[in-house]
Copies of this chain bind each other. A is one copy, B any other.
């Protein structure tokens, strides 16, 4: 596989450097030569979204996606309806911001079966396709690690995400491959190939799985720090035709407690050496 010689495909999620507000992230990412940013919706709180998008572009940052929509699965109909409305707002926000993709954390309701949650996810995404098409925003299904099947996502393998994207069969629906969620899966290479062949491979997220991992949510590692074969998985993703950004998405109390400029240096080093 090719080495990552420069930062032209490096994208960082705003949540990765959570202690910085979006203006600080934009300034610091840009100064360091980072070329992409994925914006979490909380980073836009209290801001004019169009102007924020303009600011990011002025820093020469491609806005890779808005993170995150989804959470379609609820036992109660009114909550499912509210989720659709919220996703419509997210589509509007993405369009205002000037990005062509929303990442979906699809949801799961522990009060009902996973099968039922999956049906509601399918129906939720289907209901949004007209809005997504009108806004030019792709809805990207991110399968989540099985440890989040209780309340975050009933889509827990790339096979399931592929099934759903193929069933929905729309150019406005895609799939995100996140190494943290999928690295353990013996069918990963096959499913990445399938995802590419069906033109659904829309995003690639990287970080690492630390051993030991201290927290189910907030202890992700930098690439190279754990046991995920990030380079190998990137080679599979690229062999499947993906040529978009490599997005660094890390939730970590350890790193959030660190000086964020120092952390950014570590991200760039880990990106060059271990991604």
Give 1 or 0 for each of A135-170: 1 = CB within 8 Å of chain B CB: 000000000011101110000110010000000000
Of listed A145, A151, A157, A184, residue having the most chain B CB within 10 A? A184
Q: Is A46 an interface residue (CB 8 A)?
A: no
Q: Is A211 an interface residue (CB 8 A)?
A: yes
Query: When the two chains form their complex, are residues A209 and B146 in contact, meaning their CB atoms are under 8 A apart?
Result: no
Query: When the two chains form their complex, are residues B110 and A211 in contact, meaning their CB atoms are under 8 A apart?
Result: yes
Q: Which of B114, B215, B226 contacts A186 (CB 8 A)?
A: B114
Q: Which of B114, B184, B213, B227 contacts A184 (CB 8 A)?
A: B114
Instruction: Count residues on chain A whose CB falls below 8 Å from chain B CBs.
Output: 27
Query: When the two chains form their complex, are residues B146 and A110 in contact, meaning their CB atoms are under 8 A apart?
Result: no
Q: Is A185 an interface residue (CB 8 A)?
A: yes
Chain B residues whose C-beta falls within 8 Å of the C-beta of A209 in the assembled complex: 149-150
Query: When the two chains form their complex, are residues B212 and A151 in contact, meaning their CB atoms are under 8 A apart?
Result: yes
Chain B residues whose C-beta falls within 8 Å of the C-beta of A226 in the assembled complex: 110, 150
Closest partner residue, chain B, to A181 (CB atom): B146
Interface members, chain A 199-244 (any B CB < 8 Å): 209-213, 215-216, 226-227, 229
Closest partner residue, chain B, to A188 (CB atom): B114
Chain B residues whose C-beta falls within 8 Å of the C-beta of A8 in the assembled complex: none
CB distance from A1 to the nearest CB of B (A): 15
CB distance from A222 to the nearest CB of B (A): 15
Q: Which of B145, B160, B215, B229 contacts A146 (CB 8 A)?
A: B145
5 extra interchain contacts, Cβ-Cβ under 8 A, other than A150-B211, A216-B216? A111-B227, A147-B213, A147-B216, A157-B186, A160-B186
Taking beta carbons and an 8 Å cutoff, which residues of A are in contact with B?
110-111, 113-114, 145-147, 149-151, 156-157, 160, 183-186, 209-213, 215-216, 226-227, 229
